[in-house]
Amino acid sequence: MGDADAFGKLELELRRGVVVLATLSQLRGARYGYELRQALADRGMPIEEGTLYPLLSKLRREDLVLYEWQESDMGPPRKYYRLTDAGKAQLAALDDYWTLINRTVADIGH
């Protein structure tokens, strides 16, 4: 049981480290919150609402994403999020760094 607990903690640390990259990567086009959660979950990165929406607020305060309300045929207006120019630059930098880290870890492991 101790090994499972230890793994769970390490897994959580890794997820925290990549959740920003994963979220930014899915905002290259405008998406509303539920759609963003589904896109991330479909790609193996499920994120709870209680994690995603505070993260989006933080990214907005950092000028990496912005949002706009759009009318919906399916009900009330929806808040659509998308990357700012600064967000696109940050995503590119994070993506490059992620590639470097993956290569480094692969090299260390062999």
Q: What is the pLDDT of residue 104?
A: 95
Higher pLDDT, 1 or 75: 75
Whether residue 97 is predicted with pLDDT greater than 90 in this model: the reply is yes
The answer to which of 10-19, 30-39, 59-68, 80-89 has the lowest mean pLDDT is 10-19
Residue 100 has which token pair? 């470097």
Q: What is the pLDDT of residue 37?
A: 97
Whether residue 1 is predicted with pLDDT greater than 80 in this model: the reply is no
Q: What is the pLDDT of residue 50?
A: 94
Query: What's the mean pLDDT when you consider all of the chain?
Result: 92
Distances (CA, A) of 51 to 6, 25, 47, 54, 59: 22, 16, 6, 6, 12
Q: What is the pLDDT of residue 21?
A: 95
> Which has the closest alpha carbon to 56: 38, 31, 75, 73?
31
Distances (CA, A) of 39 to 29, 72, 83, 90: 12, 19, 16, 20
C-alpha dihedral sign at 106, 107, 108, 110? positive
Average of pLDDT values for 19-38? 95
> Which has the closest alpha carbon to 51: 29, 36, 63?
36
Apex CA 92: angle with CA 101 and CA 43, to 5°?
A: 75
Q: What is the pLDDT of residue 41?
A: 97
What's the CA gap between 74 and 83, in Å, rounded?
Answer: 24
